[in-house]
Structure 1
Amino acid sequence: MRSIGILSQAWRKEKINQLKEVAEKAGRLGYTEVWSGVDPQYVEGVREIANVAEKYNMYFFVDINPDILKGFGASPSNLQVFKDLKVKGLRADYGFSVEEIIKMANNDLGLVIELNASIFPTDKLDYVISKVRDIELLKASHDFYPIKYTALSLEDTVKKSKEFKERGIPVALFIPSPREVEGRTTVEVFRGKDVGKSASIAFNTGVIDRVILGDPFPTDEELSELVEAREYTKVRVLVYPGLTEEENKVFSVKFYDVRIKEYSVALNTLAKNDIKPRNITRRFRGAVTVMNGRPDVIEVWIFKREVEADRRFNVIGEVLPEDMDLLEYLGERMPIKLVPVEMK
């Protein structure tokens, strides 16, 4: 199940009211997670964010390292202070041995332990799993890299995440706001992209279950974009003149049957229609077509390469230039909604 979250900064005393306001908005929109760094010298900030998270039943997890634990008077075998603060999960950022992580994961408090998916030695995963009493208390989340050109590649992120996903451990990553030149992102290619697009690419990998918005002060629009991306990938289509009422049906449904082909992406849904042959032309990269003569199914094909005209395919539009890069990232059976854009 896909989860969406926000980044908070519970250590920022001067911004705590603004951070609480963002958490409230996220909670009302159906966000399910809140991540935060913490400061042992400002425990009240943790309580403030935890209370909002509890109000909306959001999973609140915080970053820890050995120094943070020491500052809170805690240890791998004594995590009670976090339970008392209503924290639900602890992300073992760096500095812990594998044995210490196992000890934390076997806590009797119901606290989830998050492995650092970016740096955890995956050759130790099976050993950890064999020693943890309840794998449900294990999650994984990547680092974020605010400095430009320092984040992971998408390929490497997928490779690392797959090791956790295949073992039943849900994985999170961070996406940035396009407003931030050096935003908090796990994947370098996400810099400058819209929130919805970055989240869609992440979810379409099939190995990322959780996406966290890496800006502690996102706009309302950015918050809403992530909610939308949790449900489906939005692909905007520049519609050609002459669209018929029957063809227009492709924009009124969500496609759950999505199949990735060598030359195209196929979208299918069972529905009555009477699409007649029209605008039979060559198909090119980004061409959005609908098959005619298919009375019981709406069958859309988005082409990734140029091919000749075929009398079975009506060309009804083209992927908006700003969304063309999505063609490389769409995932098998990942929901898609086509959004029409009129030509000017």
Structure 2
Amino acid sequence: MENGISLYPGLDNTLEENLQLLDAAAKYGIRRVFTSLHIPETNVAVLKKELAKLLAAARRYDMEIISDVSPRTLAMLDMTEFDMSAFKQLGITTLRLDYGYDAVQIAMLSHNQQGIRLQLNASTITEQILAELQAAGTDFSHIDALHNFYPRRGTGISEETLQRKNAMLQKLGIKVGAFVPSSGKQRAPLFEGLPTLEDHRGWQTDKAARHLAALGIDSVFISDSLPLPAELQAVADLKQDEVVLAAKMLTQDSVQQELLRHTFTAREDEARDAIRAQESRGLIQGTIEPENNYERKLGAVTIDNKDYLRYMGELEIIKNPQPADNRVNVAAQVLDEEIFMLKYITPGRKFSFKLK
């Protein structure tokens, strides 16, 4: 996944803090930076003083620099007209067109000669807008999309809305990104997180990011000012189109522990009571002895032991509680707060565990 961080020169952080964030993100392999050039609370004088230094540092790390722009941006940057060459000279590689641009303008900009990519606002996209962009001759190979974030509590979008908008865009081959909040330094003016999904307000970054990946998002951005190192690591480690569940390890057996660290595919012949791993029996290296043969509750991760004969190594996640069986070991347990993500492990979907 092509994930990123956010920078807001002229707002919360010092130049040194922002430069340190770029350096830390680069060390984790994060190569995308979002910034906004039309936030009302921005100190424009500071932005003008610091922007060039930040963009130069990002270029040294070979980062894609995405700038949220609107007609207000021109005044901020002392531009008399919308000039792609001027944005390229600054080092901006992608322009997110927030508002104030019609389909004809966007189509024209998508054919620019400066190599600057465009980004649509995924949260406000409609079938009509996409039809107008197609009719205007937009080159969608130079375009992706990014959802809004929402500083005010209660204004973030729903999961249903996000999935509906994503389906419109991804049908045209447009990749879609979204934002997750941080538990580190939160951004002004409200300091209540900047999630895309209202459900994510107050969530840990790791869980919110894995939820977006489970929903099929193509890229995840940390929206707040100074994310924690563990949050940068979590976003860097995200896996494309894979459901990763936090689970408590229960087995003491090294053979089972090793099996639990693999990535699996949910079988196409979906069982009523469990998610069955397609590959697990073929991955076993050794013999699995009986262990933890107790009742299998919702979210139990089970592995069949040697007494189940040719089924030894069968790994399942329980969807409907099952009684104890001496042939079935309970090797791990999906955390209660992550049970809801089982519904995303549909037939053919990849899944794995973040073991605690």
TM-score of Structure 1 vs Structure 2, range by shorter chain: 0.7 to 0.9
Give the SS at the match of 2:34: strand
Amino acid at match of 1:316: A
* Cα shift readout 1:136-173 (whole Å, capped 9, x = no counterpart): 21110011001111100112111111211121111110
Deviation at 1:211, TM superposition (A): 0.3
**Aligned mate of 2:147, from 142, 149, 158:** 142
Separation (CA, whole Å) in 2 of partners of 1:99 and 1:152 = 28
Give the SS at the match of 2:14: helix
Deviates more, 1:45-54 or 1:159-168: 45-54
Separation (CA, whole Å) in 2 of partners of 1:233 and 1:168 = 22
* Cα shift readout 1:290-333 (whole Å, capped 9, x = no counterpart): 12347698432111322344565322232233433433444653
| In the alignment, structure 1 residue 316 sits paired with structure 2 residue 326 | no
- 2:107–2:139 Cα contact (<8 Å) kept: no
Q: Flag the structure with higher strand content.
A: 1
- 1:284 — aligned with what? 297
Amino acid at match of 2:106: I
Deviation at 1:125, TM superposition (A): 1.2
- Call closer, same or farther: CA 1:70–1:297 in 2, change over 3 Å: farther
- 2:8 — aligned with what? 9
Separation (CA, whole Å) in 2 of partners of 1:300 and 1:30 = 32
- 2:41 — aligned with what? none
The within-5 A match list for 1:52-91 is 52-72=57-77, 73=79, 75-76=81-82, 78-91=83-96
- Call closer, same or farther: CA 1:36–1:262 in 2, change over 3 Å: farther
What percent of counterpart residues are identical? 25
- 1:218 — aligned with what? 227
**Aligned mate of 2:342, from 317, 322, 327:** 327
Query: Where in structure 2 are there 5+ consecutive unaligned residues?
Result: 39-43
Name the TM-score, length of structure 2 as normaliser. 0.84
- Call closer, same or farther: CA 1:240–1:209 in 2, change over 3 Å: closer
* Cα shift readout 1:75-100 (whole Å, capped 9, x = no counterpart): 45x32110110100110111222222
Separation (CA, whole Å) in 1 of partners of 2:51 and 2:87 = 9
- Call closer, same or farther: CA 1:290–1:217 in 2, change over 3 Å: same
Amino acid at match of 2:209: A
Give the SS at the match of 1:172: strand
- 1:27 — aligned with what? 26
Name the TM-score, length of structure 1 as normaliser. 0.86
**Aligned mate of 1:257, from 265, 274, 296:** 265
What root-mean-square deviation, in Å, do the aligned CA atoms of Structure 1 and Structure 2 show? 2.7
Deviation at 1:69, TM superposition (A): 3.1
Deviates more, 1:213-222 or 1:132-141: 132-141
- 1:336 — aligned with what? 352
Deviation at 1:288, TM superposition (A): 1.5
| In the alignment, structure 1 residue 301 sits paired with structure 2 residue 316 | yes
Deviation at 1:193, TM superposition (A): 1.7
| In the alignment, structure 1 residue 237 sits paired with structure 2 residue 247 | yes
Query: Where in structure 1 are there 5+ consecutive unaligned residues?
Result: none
